[in-house]
Structure 1
Amino acid sequence: MVSPPPRRRASELLLDFLEHEHGRTITLGGLVALLGDRAFGMMLLLLAIPNVIPMPGLSTAVGIPMILLGAQMAAGMRQPWLPRRLASVGFDRDAFLGVVRRVHPHVARVERHLRPRLPQFTEALAERLLGLVIIVLAGVLSLPIVFGNLPPAVGIGLIALGLIERDGAFVLAGLVGSVLALAFVSAVVFGLGGAAWLLVRGLFA
């Protein structure tokens, strides 16, 4: 009996992505075509990366497709899909690959601690529930909130790594990070709202 090939690690998948012959722009549809057979984890990781090492102006461009991916996970779909208009959204090839190239060695170091465990956090039912979490985090990430993009992107990145490597401990860490991210963003929003209210009161007092 032939044993199945070993699962490829996240850093290997990122290296494949870097070595692929991309066009002048990297479109979301191109990402789906290239990574569709690697399911949702890799797509979420690649879309979260530009917000972990910030690329200005991309939070909405990557947040909206992540909302859709989260909805598809929650619906139990096995392959990512994007409508034509969203699939045509593109990023500058050199800038996007530059960010992925900077992140690659960090992913390689992190994945030394990744291994299959706590399968209850990576099985089919768990993935559907994680889809709901992704929707919330990606929705927050899409908003123009000062300092509000990084925390949810980190939470999504941890969950994505956990799904790729079938490591429920990292998924759990991503869920904890998600709670902290939402608390941080809420504090920022309330803080900015309070400051704006004080400013208005000062102007009209």
Structure 2
Amino acid sequence: MENILVAGANGTTGKKIIALLNKSQHFNPIAMVRKEEQQAYFKNQNIQTVLGDLEADVTSVFTNPIDRVIFAAGSGGKNVLGVDQEGAKKLIDAAKKANVKKFVMLSSMGADKPEEATQLQEYLKAKHNADEYLKSSGLNYSIIRPGTLTNESQVEMIELAQNLNKHGEISRADVAQTLVQSLEDKTAPNATFEIIKGATSIQNALNKIS
């Protein structure tokens, strides 16, 4: 079993990621949370937690062995520079020092050209900078850029391309599934791609860029 650190585990998408990992025969989820009171939700399910604040020093979250990382954290617009950008960079640095095998980043559609956005430009610029930092880190990575997130049920069917050149929606459940399936070394190695709801199974879509 490999230990998977999930940054942003307490978020809506983060909890779905943890649930998928918890059912896996290969991965052991470790929920990274910012506050002690957030630990109970996971401890009640016998899921290991670690305290870590992306606005502070995060090296301690790698005290125990971590094999792979999923970054699904976000400030919700409250501190995009400190969390979405610099927090991500700090976790990438710490992951590199800890020799993690792969870093899977939850980004956002539009992060490739934030200057063209009419909304959320500051957020998209922060995500862009974090993505570029990961690309230059030397770590094996997958950067997933979903369209507008919804709370619809999982369908496990997506449309995937490096640039879809169109907007669309996708459920958080399908995003979580895509992130988890991207953890493998040979799945979308060092790849950046966009996803929306579509007609191809997640596995088949990922296989095309592996």
Q: TM-score, normalised by structure 1?
A: 0.31
**Higher RCO, 1 or 2 (CA under 8 Å, sep at least 6)?**
1
Q: Which has the higher helix share?
A: 1
Compare CA radii of gyration and give the structure with the larger one: 1
Q: Which has the higher strand share?
A: 2
Q: TM-score, normalised by structure 2?
A: 0.31
